[in-house]
């Protein structure tokens, strides 16, 4: 788990960082539909669970986008992690609450999928916000609302400028003209990432969903 400090003397976004961290503290939200036609076909053919499959695609795109892995170290220095692990929600149908669990990331899909399914089974009956203990500092929150095909998502989360990780949400997929589309939203701290970086994230998610072989 490596953490790399940003050199503020040479960083090309140093003025943007100070502006959106100290003058106008801004988080912004972007939404797009992801074509999951090819992905869904493979999931059904191989009898996989869609949720951990898509969590893998999302965290893979995060780990390919340095600006979405930004954080502060224990001394308050800005930097970025080598990689992030997904912290994602599981739903308790009996009392309609949810809990967060996390899974250790692996670039190898089969390894990650087995870990995620194991975590989901192990903690499915554990209640409370944090069902799985010891969430690592290099995590990225991911959530799902499988009951709704939304067209917009906004997050007004405010945490005194130190919350640099993105918040990712996806919803219920739907069919349109023979294609299956899934709504995806992300909330980003403008101090560490601009529209270009966030759009690049969406493009990477779409590419993975279209080209991945499970």
Structure tokens at 23: 């003058």
Could you give the CA distance from residue 137 to residue 155 in angstroms, rounded to a whole number?
Answer: 21
Active-site amino acid positions: 190
């Amino acid at each position: 788990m490596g953490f790399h400090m940003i050199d503020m003397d040479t960083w090309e976004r140093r003025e943007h960082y100070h502006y959106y961290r100290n003058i106008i503290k801004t988080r912004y939200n972007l939404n797009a539909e992801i074509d999951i036609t090819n992905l869904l076909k493979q999931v059904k053919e191989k009898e996989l669970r869609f949720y951990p499959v898509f969590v893998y695609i999302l965290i893979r795109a995060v780990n390919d986008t340095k600006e979405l892995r930004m954080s502060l170290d224990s001394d308050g220095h800005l930097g970025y992690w080598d990689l992030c692990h997904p912290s994602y929600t599981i739903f308790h149908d009996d009392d309609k609450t949810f809990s967060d669990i996390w899974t250790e990331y692996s670039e190898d899909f089969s390894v990650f999928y087995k870990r995620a399914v194991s975590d989901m089974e192990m903690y499915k009956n554990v209640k409370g916000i944090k069902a799985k203990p010891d969430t690592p500092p290099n995590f990225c929150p991911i959530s799902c609302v499988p009951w709704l095909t939304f067209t917009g998502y906004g997050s007004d989360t405010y945490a005194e400028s130190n919350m640099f990780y993105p918040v990712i949400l996806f919803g219920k997929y739907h069919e349109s003209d023979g294609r299956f589309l899934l709504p995806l939203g992300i909330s980003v701290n403008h101090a560490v990432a601009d529209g270009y970086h966030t759009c690049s994230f969406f493009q990477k998610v779409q590419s993975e969903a279209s080209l991945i072989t499970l």
